[in-house]
Amino acid sequence: MLTITAASLAGGQGKTTSSFFLAKALARIGYKVLMVDADPQSSLTLYLGHEVEANQPTLLEVLKKQVSIEDGIYESNYQNLWLIPSDDGLETIQDYLSSTAMGELALKKRLQQVVELFDVAIIDSPPQRTQICLTAVVAAQELLIPAEASSKGLHSLVRTLQLVDELRSVDAFEGSILGVLPFRDRWVGRTQAKRSEVSIQDMREVAQGILVVPSILESERYKQAIDTGKTLKELGYPDLELPFQKIVEVLETKWLTNKLNPLTRTAG
């Protein structure tokens, strides 16, 4: 099972949007995808239409080992998509992770128990530099960094890359950076807004050789697709799927694949 974390150290950077549409793109071509909502705001859980009922296990209980990870996994309304949901109770995991030896490895260890059940796990990380964020990043074999096409997004990218460097320096993060995904790239007709153009160029300079994926454009069609359960193509906007198609291409180039079998790391 390949584990991908969407992480960016600011709110409104497109982490949940990226996680949701990437998961759907992978599921649509046959991969079994487990989505992990590691953000106490629970936007991913909401996007998938899952309502957490009283006494229903969530990521909180999975991380605290109060239930098996299988008991915290639920089918979604989408084919080939499953979810470990969250609710605002996930905030209480901070002290547990801080006081537990190697708490940053908690999510990675839990996911190892279901590597034979899924092809890909996609983790939606919270925007704050918290213990939940750390365990989500450390669990990743591939890290996707969404960043708004703005000065705020650029700052978020810089902080996220600094966090990765810090975790690498203590051998906590062993994965690689899949790419930077600009978010809310604004165009007026065929003309890109100057702020977006400058911000994305700055991102390329900061990324220093890391792939910068085609942008998620500023468009209400993404929300429409989430609300209706339809694909962007079904809504008549196939070009808006380009960022996620590109990421899938990169993954399938980087990792040996047989569409209905778990992805396996390429030699070298």
Task: Please compute the mean of the pLDDT values over residues 241-260 and round it to a whole number.
Answer: 82
Q: What SS3 class is residue 221?
A: helix
Structure tokens at 128: 């704050």
Q: Pick the closest to residue 146 from 4, 3, 8, 5 (CA basis).
A: 8
- Per-domain boundaries in the chain: 2-245
Query: How would residue 260 be classed by pLDDT, with cut points 50, 70 and 90?
Result: very low
181, 147 Cβ separation under 8 angstroms: yes
pLDDT tens per residue, range 22-75: 999 999 999 999 999 999 999 999 999 999 988 899 999 999 999 999 999 999
Residue 178: pLDDT above 50?
yes
The percentage of the chain sitting over the pLDDT mark of 70, rounded to a whole number, equals 95
Neighbours of 169 (CB within 10 A): 9
The one-letter amino acid code at 230 reads K
pLDDT tens per residue, range 99-153: 887 789 999 999 999 999 999 999 999 999 999 999 999 999 999 999 999 999 9
Query: Under CATH, what is the fold of the domain 2-245?
Result: Rossmann fold (3.40.50)
Residue 262: pLDDT above 80?
no
Q: What SS3 class is residue 86?
A: coil
Residue 265: pLDDT above 90?
no
Query: How would residue 259 be classed by pLDDT, with cut points 50, 70 and 90?
Result: very low
Distance (Å) of CA 210 to CA 130, 156, 158, 179, 268: 25, 16, 13, 6, 18
Does this model's pTM top 0.85? My answer is: yes
Residue with tokens 């209706």: 228
Residue 24 has a pLDDT of 95
Query: How would residue 255 be classed by pLDDT, with cut points 50, 70 and 90?
Result: confident
The one-letter amino acid code at 81 reads L
CA–CA distance, 169 with 266 (Å, rounded to integer): 25
Query: How would residue 261 be classed by pLDDT, with cut points 50, 70 and 90?
Result: very low
Cross-strand pairs, 179: 144
58, 72 Cβ separation under 8 angstroms: yes
